[in-house]
Structure 1
Amino acid sequence: MLLCVILASALMFADTRFTRMEPVRAQLSTLVAPIQWLVSLPSDVLNWGSLALSDQRALVDENRRLREQILTLSHRVQRMASLTAENVRLRELLAATRQRDMPYITAELLSLDPDPFTHQMVIDRGRRDGVYVGQPVLDASGLVGQITATSAYSSRVLLLADASHALPVQVNRNGLRFVLQGAGSYDALDVMHVPDTADIREGDLLTTSGLGGRFPPGYPVARVSAVVHDPGQPFARVTAAPVAQLQRSRHFLLLFPPAPPAAPPAAPPEGQLAAPALEAARRVGSAAADEETP
């Protein structure tokens, strides 16, 4: 035990002080992936057993609820079909570009970080599946977080609730843009630097704004839960609750947003030529001078 304690302390010190430990961590994550799958196997077996041993009454009730949900979703789809057609007509009228479907892959939860001061998890997708650092992760309700480290078969996700996580958002009602930061709690997020006169209300939906190019715009992130105005203070204290089920979801979507277009090369200052053009001009001038020389 003493040897394990010394080895663990040495590894933690090396991981803190040296950046070369990142590839080692990725390789160790690849080696530990089968163990993580083995640890999650009992819960999967229990879920399968509970489903197999469910009585007929429970299955009938679940079937009824699913049928009601299908009817509700069908009604929404009918309404969405009308809105989609109207959106297409408006885009054609404005000659706007059509939005493309964003590719994605599914992932499943492997483990949660036991550290109470961090909010991270491990999923069963890695570099072999095209996962990359910074990739957005969603569940059925909204944005969950982003990928921070990858190995061959698994990846680590930093959740919205982590105190070190922040992202640009906008109010869905009026388009005001703010920065949303984790507060170290699964059910509370902080909206930073909100002016006391800003038009933000309790119940407003906060969505990704697309600024920064990491998170695509339009995905739900959180809903404003409280707005506190302090007399004499320039900023209001605004808290929000994430719409994603951070403590309950086991299945996730990993989005592959399109790469931002490359920035055009900067034009040279007025009155100056770029280096190749300047060299070409010098060559032309030299040739003209040689021709004029008897």
Structure 2
Amino acid sequence: MNPIFKQGTSPLHRLVLVLFCSALLIFFDHKMASFETFRGYLQSLVSPLQYLANTPKQAMTWASENITTHRRLLAENQQYRLNELQFHEQTMQLEIIKQENDRLRSLLASPLRSELKKMVAETLSVDSDPYSHQIVINRGAGDGVYEGQPVIDALGVVGQILHVGQTSSRVILITDISHAVPVRVKRNGLRLLAAGSGHIDRLNHNFVSQSADIKVGDVLVTSGLGGKYPEGYPVSTVSYVSNDESREFARVYSTPIALIDRLRYLLLLSNEEPMSIFAPKSQKVADDPMREVPNSTNKAAERH
């Protein structure tokens, strides 16, 4: 009678056979390198599968690096923009400082007689009244400022101190309608009176004889008469002369040499030596230099 299930080799025998074959393959591969070519073929066959299995990881690494690089570039670009703005701002500040330094150098190099002392002042405010040409400066009685003290800029005469507070003072400009200054023609010494017209670009010269030797372009300087302004400082340049024979006197106008509409730094002239041209102001409470000034026609005679 034939059995239903035929019994084959036992598992133990199979294991022993497999181990024996493995040992033979290892021996021949180690001693004789018999499977190098076959191993190369197998490696070539498996390589595409390895690349395919490694593709997701490489894709994620590439995406992560690109996203990080893009963010870093955006951050660096933003920082560069901020740095550029800061550099532009610093450049503008340096340009402003350079301009102020140039103005101060020009101011300190202005013509000055040896016996006169000078003190630098800075404009604090400008009178808003269009009929009153006055400014306020940051020097006062605590710095040795006094009423009637002449004031110039780097180019010429600006005006004189009108009122003095403890830490600030009010300056009346030569173009104010109530101000006048004795001048002379630099070319021939002809004496005139330069009166303010109420316009920052014009001075009036009244009572000039028709036969007076004065021409457009003549430079007018302080004559020293009256004792207010030292002699020889530039005041204005003659801009208009009308010799109308039907009038008793000639009409003569001149343009101030000082930059009346762009005053920033000023020089205060004095016969008394100040503590320092950049002396710190007193910290005491100032008298109000902004009080109203009477617009009297008699002021012109008093100030020259």
The normalised TM-score by structure 1 is: 0.56
Task: Report the equivalent of 1:216.
Answer: 230
Task: Report the equivalent of 1:245.
Answer: 259
Larger CA deviation: 228-237 vs 153-162: 228-237
Indicate the SS of the match to 2:92: coil
In 2 relative to 1, CA 55–177 (structure 1 residues): closer, same or farther, beyond 3 Å?
closer
CA separation in 2, counterparts of 1:210 and 1:220? 12
Task: Report the equivalent of 1:54.
Answer: 92
CA separation in 2, counterparts of 1:55 and 1:257? 37
Task: Report the equivalent of 1:164.
Answer: 178
Task: Report the equivalent of 1:187.
Answer: 201
Contact 2:193 2:206 in 1 (8 A): yes
State the shift of 1:249 in Å: 1.9
The normalised TM-score by structure 2 is: 0.54
CA RMSD of aligned residues (A): 2.8
For residues 29-108 of structure 1, the aligned pairs below 5 Å read 52-54=90-92, 100-108=114-122
Q: Does 1 or 2 have the higher relative contact order (CA < 8 Å, sep 6+)?
A: 2
Report how many residues are paired. 177
Which of 243, 247, 259 aligns to 1:229? It is 243
Percent identity of equivalent pairs = 47
Task: Report the equivalent of 2:39.
Answer: none
State the shift of 1:233 in Å: 1.9
Contact 1:216 1:257 in 2 (8 A): no
CA separation in 1, counterparts of 2:237 and 2:262? 18
- Alpha-carbon displacement from aligned partner over 1:114-168 (angstroms, at most 9, x marks no partner): 1111000000000011100000000001000000000110000000110000011
CA separation in 1, counterparts of 2:246 and 2:137? 46
The structure 1 segments of at least 4 consecutive aligned residues displaced by more than 4 Å after TM superposition are none
- Alpha-carbon displacement from aligned partner over 1:77-129 (angstroms, at most 9, x marks no partner): 9xxxxxxxxxxxxxxxxxxxxx6331110000000011111000000000011
Task: Report the equivalent of 1:254.
Answer: 268
In 2 relative to 1, CA 51–171 (structure 1 residues): closer, same or farther, beyond 3 Å?
farther
The unaligned stretches of length 5 or more in structure 2 are 1-86, 273-304
CA separation in 2, counterparts of 1:51 and 1:136? 38
- Alpha-carbon displacement from aligned partner over 1:201-241 (angstroms, at most 9, x marks no partner): 00000000000111000000000000011122221000000
CA separation in 2, counterparts of 1:171 and 1:231? 22
CA separation in 2, counterparts of 1:181 and 1:244? 15
Q: Is structure 2 residue 192 aligned with structure 1 residue 154?
A: no
State the shift of 1:55 in Å: 9.6
Q: Mark the structure with the bigger radius of gyration.
A: 2
The unaligned stretches of length 5 or more in structure 1 are 1-48, 78-98, 259-294
- Alpha-carbon displacement from aligned partner over 1:179-203 (angstroms, at most 9, x marks no partner): 1100000001101211000000000
State the shift of 1:51 in Å: 6.7
Indicate the SS of the match to 2:198: strand
